[in-house]
Amino acid sequence: MRYCLPCNATYEKDLRVCPDCRSRLLDGNERDLWLAAQEELTNQRFVPVHVLEGPVEEALLQSLLGDAGIPWIIRGHRADGFLAAFTSQTGWGVLLVTEEDIPRARELIELFQESAVPDDFDSDSA
C-alpha cells in the first residue's frame, strides 16, 4: 500500500505519484517516519514565508521543500462570504516553515521563482 499525505488517500503499490495532486506517494515506512516527524514538529513555531499564487505553485513548492527536508504547512485563504467581506486576502494561501528553516526556504523559493519564468518571456506580448 502507498499513501498520499496531502490527499490522505491510499493507493496500490504500483503507483508512484498521486493521480489527484501529483504528490509522490509514500510507502508504509516513509509514512510512519513522516507522521513521527510531524508529531515532533507540533511543538515548533511555524511562521509565514511566502504567499502562494495557486495550486500548481503550492504543489511544486511542497515537493521542493519536502525534498530539501524542510517541514512546511499550508494555510489556505478560505473564508465564508460574511468573513470574506471584511478581510483582505491575496493569493491562494500562505506557506509556513519553522523559524530555523526560513533562510533556506527563502533561498529555495527564490530559485524556484527565477526558474519558473524563462529569460526570454515577454509579459507584454502574452
Summarised one tens digit per residue, pLDDT across range 69-101 is 998 888 875 544 444 444 445 677 889 999 999
- The H or E element spanning position 11 is strand 9-11
Among 35-39, 90-94, 106-110, which range has the highest average pLDDT?
106-110
Given a cut of 90, whether residue 34 has pLDDT beyond it is: no
Residue ranges per domain, the chain? 1-43, 45-118
The answer to whether 17 and 23 are in contact (CB under 8 A) is yes
Residue 30, pLDDT > 50, answer yes
Tell me the CATH number of domain 45-118, given options 3.40.50, 2.60.40, 2.30.240, 3.30.70.
3.30.70
pLDDT at 104: 96
